[in-house]
């Protein structure tokens, strides 16, 4: 026989007598009825023996012998637990006196695996050592708590387990009014009391905060909160059903109703995802919410740095190729793969950069007056960009894409020389300027007797060499270093002579970048006889740049076309001092 006090939130004390919670008066009554038993205990036991008979609930133990008759020691929690009649409580195949033999024995539930609200049969099934009734459903485990720590639909109430030590446990907030009971613990909450009515033991319900349903009166009770009790016209063995769903208070109901004001809510209802405990199991929307714990489909993932669909990943499948939100950054000519497509400076972004940051210089000299070898200057170029008099002449583009016009000196023949140079600079991106000037070059070729081939990948020794003469075709280039290299023309230069131009970019470390920059740039070459060219600085020369090549009114033009091949132009008539060349460096 054990006693334990339970302290209510209102300060009212209850006592657990033989495992049942009751008021102090009830405990005293039961104690009086057990006078003979207590007398025997007092007569036959010392003070220490009496103290051992009065203990906390449940008692601690190490072996079954530490427990009273009808109990066993649950070694998982170190507490005495009752052995229900007809239940096989054997542990790990241990035979139990249930008449079924070893084959029927099963291992006791693992208490460590059970959480609040999970079903149990005895106190030892729960980690806390407390298996409680919650109304019409099976008994469930509860756990120790602090204010606000219990799950939704559960409340934290204090229990004094003997002496002055308070224990706080989670109790479900369910309505057990008129439920059959044996003790207060069967009534779902410490303010709801089990009372003896005319037709049996039934749960009341505290009416301090919540009003009683129709057919019940709020009655003051000794030692506790006022309780709802059936009125004279109502019996707990009948059915008080306020919402007409067949569930309510009374033995004739289909079961207890956790909300007798809503016919859609009862233990027989199907739970819906609506924030309501439709089936009265103490849980809301169980198994119905999405991964985010809300109703309906999980929200779609959007790129915002938040795990919108609650799958444990942030922005999965919605980031751009650069791994950021929004559109990938635009590609710019800066030596980086800004748009994360695997190519640095992919076409045509560097065309505009080359046009605005680089200058193409073209030099011409009569009577072999040009500088020998590779030279940093041609006459006064590049310090100046327009010299159209004397034997050494030069022009340079001016970063706007227009044509720079060169007037040829004297008769053009085998003692004339031509040269080209490319100079790039950018104060904010010097590394890009160095890369373009060091990896891209303009090639210029001359062929007599129409020996050049349009769209050829080579022109004599070029582009394997920066300049050369194989006896048939002559070529020069900007040479990837900003220097001028003279190319001597062959024989009499006349209408069967050809000039060819090619723009090439090379980078063994990043061939994709080189190919992109090559495809982003066009160099246009124009020719006009009898001073028939457009004015210096003109935006057009014949059909170019609207067309890649062609002739309009005696103005012929061709272009590099971004393919790394030589494209030729046929000179016209006698080539002499009244003929003009036009040069344009443009982004494609």
282-297: pLDDT as tens digits: 888 988 999 999 999 9
User: Domain of 388?
Assistant: 349-587
Q: What distance in Å separates the CA atoms of residue 447 and residue 434, rounded to the nearest whole number?
A: 32
Asked if residue 275 is part of any domain, the answer here is no
User: What pLDDT sits at residue 140?
Assistant: 85
Rounded to two decimals, what is the model's pTM? 0.55
pLDDT tens digits, residue range 535-582? 999 999 999 999 999 999 999 999 999 999 999 999 977 788 889 999
The CA dihedral of 314, 315, 320, 325, to the nearest 10 degrees, is: -100
Asked if residue 39 is part of any domain, the answer here is yes
Neighbours of 311 (CB within 10 A): 12
Could you tell me the pLDDT band of residue 584, with boundaries at 50, 70 and 90? very high
Asked if residue 200 is part of any domain, the answer here is no
pLDDT tens digits, residue range 110-153? 666 788 888 898 988 999 888 887 655 678 899 988 888 888 87
Residue position matching structure tokens 């469930």? 140
What is the rounded radius of gyration, in angstroms, for the C-alpha atoms of the chain?
A: 50
Higher pLDDT, 265 or 147: 265
- Among 173, 189, 222, identify where a domain stops: 173
User: Is a pLDDT exceeding 80 seen at residue 419?
Assistant: yes
Asked if residue 232 is part of any domain, the answer here is no
Asked if residue 367 is part of any domain, the answer here is yes
- Among 173, 189, 208, identify where a domain stops: 173
Higher pLDDT, 571 or 362: 362
Q: What is the mean pLDDT of residues 427-435?
A: 96
Q: What distance in Å separates the CA atoms of residue 156 and residue 148, rounded to the nearest whole number?
A: 7
In the chain, the number of structural domains is: 2
Could you tell me the pLDDT band of residue 48, with boundaries at 50, 70 and 90? very low
The CA dihedral of 411, 413, 414, 417, to the nearest 10 degrees, is: 70
User: Contact at 8 Å (CB) between 28 and 13?
Assistant: no
Q: What is the mean pLDDT of residues 78-91?
A: 50
User: What pLDDT sits at residue 408?
Assistant: 92
User: What pLDDT sits at residue 138?
Assistant: 73
Asked if residue 536 is part of any domain, the answer here is yes
Torsion sign (Cα): 22, 25, 28, 33: negative
E-state strands within 448-520: 468-469, 473-477, 487-488, 498-505
Could you tell me the pLDDT band of residue 42, with boundaries at 50, 70 and 90? very low
User: What pLDDT sits at residue 383?
Assistant: 96
Asked if residue 295 is part of any domain, the answer here is no
User: Is a pLDDT exceeding 90 seen at residue 384?
Assistant: yes
- Among 112, 138, 173, identify where a domain stops: 173
Asked if residue 117 is part of any domain, the answer here is yes
User: What pLDDT sits at residue 170?
Assistant: 85
């Amino acid at each position: 026989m054990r006693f334990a006090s339970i302290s209510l939130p209102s300060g009212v004390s209850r006592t657990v007598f033989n495992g049942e919670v009751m008021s102090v008066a009830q405990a005293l009554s039961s104690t009086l009825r057990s006078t003979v038993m207590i007398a025997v205990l007092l007569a036959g036991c010392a003070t220490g023996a009496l103290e051992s008979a009065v203990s906390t609930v449940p008692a601690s133990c190490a072996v079954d012998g530490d427990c009273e008759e009808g109990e066993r020691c649950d070694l998982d929690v170190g507490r005495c637990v009752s052995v229900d009649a007809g239940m096989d409580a054997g542990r790990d195949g241990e035979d139990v006196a249930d008449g079924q033999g070893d084959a029927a024995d099963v291992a006791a539930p693992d208490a460590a695996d059970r959480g609040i609200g999970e079903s149990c049969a005895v106190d030892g099934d729960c980690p806390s050592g407390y298996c409680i009734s919650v109304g019409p459903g099976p008994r469930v485990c509860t756990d120790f708590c602090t204010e606000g720590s219990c799950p939704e639909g559960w409340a934290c109430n204090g229990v004094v387990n003997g002496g002055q030590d308070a224990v706080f446990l989670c109790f479900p907030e369910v309505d057990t009014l008129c439920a059959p009971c044996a003790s207060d613990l069967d009534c779902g909450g410490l303010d709801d009391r089990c009372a003896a009515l005319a037709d049996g033991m039934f749960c009341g319900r505290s009416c301090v905060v919540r009003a009683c349903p129709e057919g019940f009166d709020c009655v003051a009770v000794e030692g506790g909160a006022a309780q709802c009790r059936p009125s004279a016209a109502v019996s707990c063995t009948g059915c008080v059903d306020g919402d007409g769903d067949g569930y309510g208070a009374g033995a004739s109901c289909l079961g207890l109703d956790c909300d007798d004001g809503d016919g859609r809510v009862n233990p027989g209802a199907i739970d819906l995802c609506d924030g309501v405990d439709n089936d009265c199991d103490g849980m809301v929307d169980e198994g119905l919410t999405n991964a985010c714990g809300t109703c309906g489909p999980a929200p779609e993932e959007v790129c915002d740095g938040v795990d919108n669909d609650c799958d444990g990943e942030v922005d999965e499948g919605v980031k751009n190729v650069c791994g950021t939100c929004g559109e990938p950054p635009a590609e710019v000519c800066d030596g980086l793969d800004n748009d994360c497509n695997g190519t640095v400076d992919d076409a045509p972004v560097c065309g505009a950069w080359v046009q605005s940051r680089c200058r193409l210089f073209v030099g011409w000299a009569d009577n072999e007056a040009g500088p020998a070898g590779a030279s940093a200057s041609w006459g006064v170029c590049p310090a100046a960009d327009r010299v159209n008099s004397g034997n050494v002449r030069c022009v340079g583009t001016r970063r706007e894409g227009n044509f720079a016009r060169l007037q040829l000196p004297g008769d053009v023949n085998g003692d004339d020389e031509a040269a080209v140079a490319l100079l790039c600079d950018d104060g904010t991106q010097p590394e890009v300027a160095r890369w373009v000037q060091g990896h891209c070059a303009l090639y210029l070729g001359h062929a007599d007797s129409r020996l050049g081939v349009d769209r050829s990948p080579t022109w004599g020794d070029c582009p394997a060499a920066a300049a050369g003469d194989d006896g048939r075709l002559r070529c020069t280039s900007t040479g990837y270093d900003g220097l001028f290299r003279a190319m001597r023309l062959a024989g009499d230069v006349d209408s069967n002579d050809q000039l060819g131009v090619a723009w090439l970019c090379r980078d063994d470390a990043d061939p994709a970048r080189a190919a992109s920059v090559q495809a982003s740039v066009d160099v246009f070459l124009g020719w006009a006889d009898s001073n028939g060219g457009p004015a210096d600085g003109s935006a057009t020369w014949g059909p170019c740049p609207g067309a890649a090549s062609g002739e309009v009114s005696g103005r012929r033009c061709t272009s590099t076309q971004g393919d790394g091949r030589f494209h030729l132009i046929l000179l016209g008539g006698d080539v002499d001092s009244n003929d003009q060349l036009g040069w344009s460096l443009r982004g494609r």
